Chains A and B, each alone.
Chain A
């Protein structure tokens, strides 16, 4: 069993308090994680300038090379981990065991994280609109048009309160290192694996350890991080997002309420897009914010739901090692029973029909964990409560909504896939602020183009464009 210690700007700290991580199904101990308090993080804030300085001392091109190396190590190497080492297979097994995700999904998420890191040059090129990264390092420079541009760094470090069970979202903080910003992370209690392994890969690739801090611990650690770090991100519920709305220091990532929207011109051909819908709802066991939780159309909603239910309803619970396993476990069984109670309440509303009921019980309770099988429901109006819900399993409501009402009713949408060729409708969605990431045409909601920003552009969060003038040199 591994013991993972807090990392304080590169130095391991062996805490007297530990939390055990156990296998969700067998209860087998997997790791012991040293816990620290928020005060420690607060004290360590005094070294944030050093974290940036050690990264700034490395040229951006060299950092990108080392990031590429780190990506390779992350995905292929046996790396130092706590008081031992961790091979790729051990990583996959440990992550699956603590999060409930089937192992093949853990591999998928690992590849996703590795891909982003390996392609950091292109990603930053896209996010910065081709800016020479040396300008960010120096703080100012000439883009080539004879005009001085300047970017003021907003923080020496990026803080992040990381989630428990969604290994894919770690892609969001990875670019910080290449932008010469240190990392101060609170790993999720059930998913410490990705941040620990990624930091180990960075250090092995030659990025200074002083740039990294990892603080496993309780709520006070998260609170200290969010209140003390000049720029931080947090992953949580809709309430968490609401709590930090309008706080320029915090980028809050919550539910996505991602949707597929049919234009009237394409909806009669809905069968052509069934695979797109299934993938959008079902990939990664429906656990991601980019999974589709709503399909909106003005007609055929019952037929769409019936076809989706036919495909998703019979999904079986399979062991996490099975490559065919499509469902992740709720490692805390109470989360599953609580979620199911909420879904049942939504399903009981008049105008809502559960199309998956015929495929057997949705809630599968096991001794130490539980599963929720896919739920597909119809809502005869966008006003039904179920139309604005998202849960952490494959769940979708197929909502009947007149095309003219779409933009008024869909609400906040992280990823919106608009299936239409109607130029006017496309223009309306392009202008709308309801949809964050807009896909025009049949692109599954879960397929991200890494050259596009995700819920805000990280470079804009960490740097601010500003005026910068230098006086002409005095004549000698």
Chain B
């Protein structure tokens, strides 16, 4: 294939992805704003809009006619107002985001978390995440979706998931109170449990954990004279807090024993939340200085990098902006939500022919007020 034809193929893929996104957007908006299928929340909100979503949303770009989604709408009940009429009667979950004070934000879910993680499963290399392999879920559970989602991912791949609980709200409280000794003890308590499970002959091959817990687990295992590699873990899916290229390099080179092809341990960073779902990262490599670029599971979710002042304006490729998320599923509709993160806009590539975001970190204007790294 010539360079020219490869370029043409990429352009074709991007155009096809865009067309799919436009069609999916129209279908999703029809669902959420139709009297027979829409949720009470959006049907009520429709009255305040200066346009008719049913007739005036013909493409993804038309979502910009909506005002920004305000996360405060998710605080407090009744939570059932978010359930689309078309899904009435289905068993429904409610998942909460990590807040520590006041009323947490909550999101209703029926199947989305399963769908998200099944799609994510397709991105995992079987060589390192063997089908039928058992998993360890070492991260926040409670009202968060992670426990159920990771467990489903594991079951979807034919394994059984062991779980260690971690309460991030208590962790944030410990940090705010300055009780660092308690924080260390709590972390140790979680890691001790993880090591007990990992050394109990359960043949665990894969795990989910946060970057900080992964680091702590590695030190905990090192103190016992072993390592993540030696204990038999081959696939790690990590997320929940910020990844930096330097940390990722440290993790791969020193905690995991080298790149996957040398160490046999593969780690994939992810980015996501209860609202959007799970964005996968482009495979990380030393040649690319461990750059981490995330790509949302389009068309179910979209990530844009927008101008700090004009949230309708996407910044040029490699420029810095605020991360804006869209959720376009039958269960939940978010027509543009400003994340508490910033990053650089990344170009599409063959595997994900749509925009991505790299260098994700807390939005500089609010970073100082945020307790980062709660897990």
User: Which residues does A use to contact B, with CB under 8 Å?
Assistant: 15-17, 35-37, 39-40, 42-43, 46
Do B254 and A16 touch across chains, with their CB atoms under 8 A apart? no
Give complex CA distance A39, B249 in Å. 12
Give complex CA distance A16, B250 in Å. 10
Do B249 and A16 touch across chains, with their CB atoms under 8 A apart? yes
Give complex CA distance A41, B246 in Å. 14
Which residue from chain B places its CB closest to the CB of A16 in the assembled complex?
A: B246
Do B244 and A17 touch across chains, with their CB atoms under 8 A apart? yes
Do A16 and B290 touch across chains, with their CB atoms under 8 A apart? yes
Which residue from chain B places its CB closest to the CB of A39 in the assembled complex?
A: B215
**B289: CB under 8 A from chain A?**
yes
Residues of chain A lying within 8 A (CB to CB) of residue B247:
37
Which residue from chain B places its CB closest to the CB of A43 in the assembled complex?
A: B254
Do A16 and B245 touch across chains, with their CB atoms under 8 A apart? yes
**B66: CB under 8 A from chain A?**
no
Residues of chain A lying within 8 A (CB to CB) of residue B246:
15-17, 35-37
Tell me the B244-280 residues at the A interface (CB within 8 Å): 244-247, 249-250, 254-255
Do B254 and A40 touch across chains, with their CB atoms under 8 A apart? yes
Interface residues of B toward A: which range? 10 to 19
Q: For the complex formed, measure the closest distance between the CB of B226 and the CB atoms of chain A, giving whole angstroms.
A: 14
Which residue from chain B places its CB closest to the CB of A17 in the assembled complex?
A: B246
Q: For the complex formed, measure the closest distance between the CB of A270 and the CB atoms of chain B, giving whole angstroms.
A: 46
- Return 18 A-B CB contacts under 8 Å, by A number: A16-B244, A16-B246, A16-B249, A16-B289, A16-B290, A17-B244, A35-B246, A36-B250, A37-B246, A37-B247, A37-B250, A39-B219, A39-B250, A40-B254, A42-B219, A43-B219, A43-B222, A46-B222
Residues of chain A lying within 8 A (CB to CB) of residue B219:
39, 42-43
Residues of chain A lying within 8 A (CB to CB) of residue B254:
40, 43
Given A16-B244, A16-B289, A17-B245; 13 other pairs, CB 8 A cutoff: A16-B245, A16-B246, A16-B290, A37-B246, A37-B250, A39-B215, A39-B255, A42-B219, A43-B219, A43-B222, A43-B254, A43-B255, A46-B222
Residues of chain A lying within 8 A (CB to CB) of residue B250:
36-37, 39-40
Tell me the B311-349 residues at the A interface (CB within 8 Å): none
Give complex CA distance A40, B255 in Å. 9
User: Which residues does B use to contact A, with CB under 8 Å?
Assistant: 215, 219, 222, 244-247, 249-250, 254-255, 289-290
Q: What secondary structure prevails in chain B residues at the interface with A?
A: helix
Number of A-B residue pairs, CB cutoff 8 Å, is 28
Q: For the complex formed, measure the closest distance between the CB of B295 and the CB atoms of chain A, giving whole angstroms.
A: 21
Which residue from chain B places its CB closest to the CB of A34 in the assembled complex?
A: B246
Which residue from chain B places its CB closest to the CB of A40 in the assembled complex?
A: B250
Task: Choose among A42, A43, A46 the residue with the greatest number of B CB atoms under 10 Å from its CB.
Answer: A43
Q: Which 8 A-B pairs rank lowest in CB-CB distance, beginning with the nearest?
A: A16-B246, A17-B246, A16-B245, A39-B215, A15-B246, A16-B289, A43-B254, A40-B250
Residues of chain B lying within 8 A (CB to CB) of residue A40:
250, 254
Q: For the complex formed, measure the closest distance between the CB of B238 and the CB atoms of chain A, giving whole angstroms.
A: 14
Residues of chain B lying within 8 A (CB to CB) of residue A17:
244-246
Q: For the complex formed, measure the closest distance between the CB of B246 and the CB atoms of chain A, giving whole angstroms.
A: 4
Residues of chain A lying within 8 A (CB to CB) of residue B215:
39
Give complex CA distance A262, B105 in Å. 66
Give complex CA distance A201, B224 in Å. 38
Task: Choose among B245, B250, B255 the residue with the greatest number of A CB atoms under 10 Å from its CB.
Answer: B250
Give complex CA distance A46, B255 in Å. 14
Which residue from chain B places its CB closest to the CB of A15 in the assembled complex?
A: B246
Q: For the complex formed, measure the closest distance between the CB of A15 and the CB atoms of chain B, giving whole angstroms.
A: 6
Give complex CA distance A35, B222 in Å. 24
Give complex CA distance A190, B254 in Å. 28
Q: For the complex formed, measure the closest distance between the CB of A227 and the CB atoms of chain B, giving whole angstroms.
A: 9
Give complex CA distance A17, B291 in Å. 12
Give complex CA distance A39, B222 in Å. 12
Residues of chain B lying within 8 A (CB to CB) of residue A42:
219
Q: For the complex formed, measure the closest distance between the CB of B356 and the CB atoms of chain A, giving whole angstroms.
A: 19
Give complex CA distance A16, B222 in Å. 25
Q: For the complex formed, measure the closest distance between the CB of A335 and the CB atoms of chain B, giving whole angstroms.
A: 17
Q: For the complex formed, measure the closest distance between the CB of A42 and the CB atoms of chain B, giving whole angstroms.
A: 6
Residues of chain B lying within 8 A (CB to CB) of residue A36:
246, 250
Give complex CA distance A46, B227 in Å. 14
Give complex CA distance A36, B222 in Å. 20
Give complex CA distance A270, B244 in Å. 61
Which residue from chain A places its CB closest to the CB of B245 in the assembled complex?
A: A16
Residues of chain B lying within 8 A (CB to CB) of residue A16:
244-246, 249, 289-290
Which residue from chain A places its CB closest to the CB of B248 in the assembled complex?
A: A16
Q: For the complex formed, measure the closest distance between the CB of B288 and the CB atoms of chain A, giving whole angstroms.
A: 11
Give complex CA distance A16, B246 in Å. 5
Which residue from chain B places its CB closest to the CB of A227 in the assembled complex?
A: B184
Give complex CA distance A147, B254 in Å. 49
Q: For the complex formed, measure the closest distance between the CB of A117 and the CB atoms of chain B, giving whole angstroms.
A: 33
Q: For the complex formed, measure the closest distance between the CB of B129 and the CB atoms of chain A, giving whole angstroms.
A: 25
Give complex CA distance A189, B148 in Å. 44
Q: For the complex formed, measure the closest distance between the CB of A452 and the CB atoms of chain B, giving whole angstroms.
A: 36
Residues of chain B lying within 8 A (CB to CB) of residue A35:
246
Q: For the complex formed, measure the closest distance between the CB of B343 and the CB atoms of chain A, giving whole angstroms.
A: 16
Q: For the complex formed, measure the closest distance between the CB of A392 and the CB atoms of chain B, giving whole angstroms.
A: 24
Residues of chain B lying within 8 A (CB to CB) of residue A15:
246
Which residue from chain B places its CB closest to the CB of A217 in the assembled complex?
A: B246
Task: Choose among A35, A39, A42, A46 the residue with the greatest number of B CB atoms under 10 Å from its CB.
Answer: A39
Residues of chain A lying within 8 A (CB to CB) of residue B245:
16-17
Which residue from chain A places its CB closest to the CB of B216 in the assembled complex?
A: A39
Give complex CA distance A276, B45 in Å. 78
